[in-house]
Amino acid sequence: MAITSLPTPPSRSDPENFAERADAFMAALPRFADEANALQQDVTQSAANADNDAMAAAQSAYAADASWAAAKSSAEAAASSQQGAGQKAAESQGSAALARQWATKLGEPVEAGEFSAKHYAQLAAQGMGLPVFALGNIPTADVGPIFVPTQGAMEWRSGRYAVLRADHGQCRFVYVSPDECRLVPHNGDGLVINGRQYRIDSAGVPLDIASVPGATGTHSYVYAKDNGSGSLTLVAEATGHSRHTDGTEIKTGDPSSTLVGVVYKNAGSVFVDSAAIRGVASWFNRYYKSATSTNFNTGTASAAPVQAIGPVYVWLWAGEGFKVNINGRTAVNVATASAYTFAYVDSVQAWGVYGTSATANAGVPVAITVPTEGTTEGFHSVATWLSVSGGGTSNCSLTQSIKAAP
User: Given this model, what pLDDT does residue 317 score?
Assistant: 96
At residue 174, the 3 state secondary structure works out as strand
Task: Tell me how far apart the alpha carbons of residues 26 and 9 are, in angstroms, rounded to a whole number.
Answer: 9
Q: Quick one: what percent of the chain has pLDDT higher than 90? A: 41
Beta bridge partners of 135: none
Residue 355 has pLDDT above 80, yes or no: no
Q: What's the burial of 321, exposed, middle or buried (CB within 10 Å: 0-12/13-18/19+)?
A: middle
Average pLDDT of the residues of the chain: 83
Is CATH 3.90.550.10 correct for 291-404? Answer: no
At 50-76, the pLDDT tens digits run 666 656 665 766 666 666 677 667 667
Residues in CB range of 397: below 8 A, 6 or more apart? 295, 296, 297, 328, 329, 330
pLDDT top residue among 317 and 57: 317
Average pLDDT over residues 23-48: 67
Is 160:186 a contact under the CB 8 Å cutoff? no
- From residue 102, alpha-carbon distances to 114, 135, 212, 311 in Å are 9, 19, 44, 61
Residue 21 has pLDDT above 90, yes or no: no
- Per-residue confidence band for 20, with pLDDT thresholds at 50, 70 and 90: confident
Average pLDDT over residues 227-253: 93
User: Given this model, what pLDDT does residue 162 score?
Assistant: 85
Residue 156 has pLDDT above 60, yes or no: yes
User: Given this model, what pLDDT does residue 33 score?
Assistant: 64
- From residue 72, alpha-carbon distances to 14, 67, 315 in Å are 79, 8, 78
- Global pTM reads 0.65
Q: Which of 150-159, 253-262, 290-299 has the highest mean pLDDT?
A: 253-262
Residue 172 has pLDDT above 60, yes or no: yes
Task: Tell me how far apart the alpha carbons of residues 340 and 351 are, in angstroms, rounded to a whole number.
Answer: 11
Task: Tell me how far apart the alpha carbons of residues 12 and 77 are, in angstroms, rounded to a whole number.
Answer: 85
User: Given this model, what pLDDT does residue 68 score?
Assistant: 65
Nearest to 218 by CA among 177, 277, 285, 260: 277
User: Given this model, what pLDDT does residue 378 score?
Assistant: 95
At 272-288, the pLDDT tens digits run 999 999 999 999 999 89
pLDDT top residue among 147 and 171: 171
- From residue 169, alpha-carbon distances to 15, 205, 260, 302, 316 in Å are 144, 14, 8, 52, 19
Tell me how many degrees the CA angle 128-130-133 measures, rounded to the nearest 5.
140
Phi and psi at residue 191, in whole multiples of 5°?
-150, 140
